[in-house]
Structure 1
Amino acid sequence: MTKSVNWKPVLEKFEKRLSDLKARVLSFGGQLTLINSVLNSLPLYFFSLFRAPPSVLHKLECARRIELDNLGINFTKAFKKEIGNGKDTRFWLDSWLIDTPLCERFSRLFRLDPVPNTSVQDRLMRSGEICSGSWNWVREPRGRTDAELNELMRLLQDFSTNNSGDDRWRWSLGANETVAHAIFQCQNEVWNRVYDWFGLSRVTLNLSNAFLGRTSIQSTEEGARVWQAVEWTCDYLIWKNRNKKVFKNSSWNPPVALNEIQIKSFEWISKRCKTLEIDWHSWLTNPKKFIM
């Protein structure tokens, strides 16, 4: 099983499972589950018995990225590895030192490494808190390749790790971004439009209060549930469209956001609140009467 040709039946099985007609009618979550099942679970038996050649691992990774790209997901942009011992992170093929895999930024160097699937642990030398490279080139870098090596070495000098624990994936929300920041502060204009739509004064929103349905608005018990449904609709749509921005690079402007919130909140409330008589025109023009 050391030759790539011996792995051809395995690769063909992956392709058959992923190209199954039934897979194309699954939901987004269903397709994502299928991809992970095929590309993570199926090879478990073979990998437990045989060591796959780098070319086979590369083909499997390409298959994963193609299928994820078809779903509009670019995990190399959305996720980054946090390095512990470096054992489970691929030096060239995973995003860990910068926001993209090193094989894309340093393509000439990547072609000189005889082990393209090598780990961070194998390529990183640590002396105290200082990191440097442990190389095994097929030939010495020169010219533009040498310039790439110098740039890579500068990046490694600024890199630090505690050299303990397992590596783990981290969602690249941003260094200081939290869920509360993503939902409230980043979408401040959307919330302003929602409050203006209801004719209410804007209040400072708190994440726990929003999800628990607590509100400072004086209203009836039924009105409080209506406003809670509106807040939850905002939270849901803001988070959903933020994921679209991260994974699909799509935009969501405040006027469109308000329109979606109005439609979705009306659908949820009119279907679930059986004691409330609500019509679309009143919901658009005077929603405040439903919460007071």
Structure 2
Amino acid sequence: MRKTTRLGRFFIKPNNNILRPSRIRVNRVGRPRVVNNWNVPIGIDIKIIKWWLRFKTEPASLWVKVIKSIYGASGGLSLCDNINYSTSSSVWSCIIKTGGRIDASGVNFRNSFKKEIGDGANTSFWNEIWFGSDSLKNRFKRLARLEVDLNASFKDRVSCDGSSIIGLWNWKRTPTGRAQGELEALNLLVQSVKMAPNKLDSWAWQLNGGGNFKTKILSDLLMSRVLGARTGYVESLHNNFTPKKVEVFIWRLRKGRIPVLTELNKRGVDLNSVRCAICDGDVETINHSIFTCNLAHEIWSKVNEWWGLGCPSNKSVNEMFLGKPNVPMSPLGMKLWQAVEWTCGYLI
């Protein structure tokens, strides 16, 4: 009895003592946090989205059968499921709503899984979405009412004989009228399907070019589609040879958030002068402080001489910290040089 209660709470309405899905916000996978400037929800559950694929690839599992008995044949994952989950607090409804949040973020996730027909033995002909964005049961409702077995597999209803594909229909009565028109459309649809009788049915993720589902790729898509749309957005950089404070400094430097005198003056800070306090040769801008000041130029000369790179030229922030040195280096050497360059910029 206790196990049944716990199972019901997991699928329908869990309490605080029952295991909840691990919520990983975008910023927890190495990306800045999403804000609501574009009506994008804060906190997209990247990790639990794997259950979408597990539901599709494990149809014989007991937990999948339980989900289908509660939420329908598609488990509530289909765009055509008109079910309101806004007030539900179950784990599965949270997984369903996560797909909606990702779609709202600009990534067409819920339609990204496509069934690839092999021998057709593990695909439900009427209930699963293997063509288009809806099941055949919803697209051909009159034929579905005439079908003897709605749980028939694709292999039971379609036969591939060499280059020809033939429908193996089993109706309660001969389709007539509008049902006859639906049957003609269904025959055309079936003949356009490409079967691979020597392979098993499988799922392909269209957002990865038909490959396997990976949370990292989904996270990168969210960053490019949502975070990249932000005005002035700058991607954070990472080098495991540098301290975190140096990486934060480089990020602020690229965004122009260093408190040099010209920036303070723009923000209304009362200053006696905005000229460089070290060389007094120019106004103190970010580019002057990091590169063209006499002290900064001398430091960069010493560093470049140490690495055998010659005399440094006056560069922009992106050219200096993202560009490549003018001598060939190995990947490890490039990373070490980047760490030295970032750290010198931080110390200056």
| 1:4 match | none
Question: Mapping of 1:1-292 within 5 angstroms?
Answer: 14-18=7-11, 19-22=13-16, 26-27=22-23, 28-29=45-46, 31-32=48-49, 44=61, 58-59=68-69, 62=72, 64-65=75-76, 67=93, 68-72=95-99, 77-173=111-207, 177=209, 238-241=220-223, 252=226, 254-256=228-230, 259=233, 261-262=234-235, 265=236, 272-273=243-244, 278=249, 281-285=252-256, 287-288=317-318, 289-291=320-322
Distance in 2 (CA, whole Å) between partners of 1:85 and 1:109 is: 23
| 1:245 match | none
| 1:187 match | none
1:52-94 deviation line (CA, Å, top 9, x unaligned): 8xxx885256283263432225876211111111101111122
Structure 2 SS opposite 1:65: coil
Shift of 1:46: 9.8
Structure 2 SS opposite 1:278: helix
1:1-58 deviation line (CA, Å, top 9, x unaligned): xxxxxxxx999765421221345563125644678889998984699xxxx8xxx885
**TM-score between both structures, scaled by the size of structure 2:** 0.47
**Unaligned runs of at least 5 residues, structure 2:** 24-44, 78-92, 104-108, 257-285, 287-316, 323-340, 342-348
Residue 279 and residue 120 in structure 1: after superposition, are their counterparts in 2 closer, same or farther (change >3 A)? closer
Q: Quick check: 279-288 or 138-147, which moved more? A: 279-288
Shift of 1:156: 1.4
Identity over the aligned pairs, expressed in percent? Answer: 23
Distance in 1 (CA, whole Å) between partners of 2:67 and 2:148 is: 14
Taking CA–CA contacts closer than 8 Å with sequence separation of 6 or more, which of the two structures ends up with the larger relative contact order?
Answer: 1
Distance in 1 (CA, whole Å) between partners of 2:244 and 2:150 is: 58
Distance in 1 (CA, whole Å) between partners of 2:152 and 2:69 is: 15
Residue 93 and residue 30 in structure 1: after superposition, are their counterparts in 2 closer, same or farther (change >3 A)? same
Distance in 1 (CA, whole Å) between partners of 2:171 and 2:124 is: 17
Distance in 2 (CA, whole Å) between partners of 1:236 and 1:38 is: 18
Residue 138 and residue 13 in structure 1: after superposition, are their counterparts in 2 closer, same or farther (change >3 A)? farther
Point out the structure with max Rg over C-alpha. Answer: 2
The count of residues paired between Structure 1 and Structure 2 equals 210
Structure in which a larger fraction of residues adopt helix? 1
Structure 2 SS opposite 1:239: helix
Distance in 2 (CA, whole Å) between partners of 1:272 and 1:280 is: 13
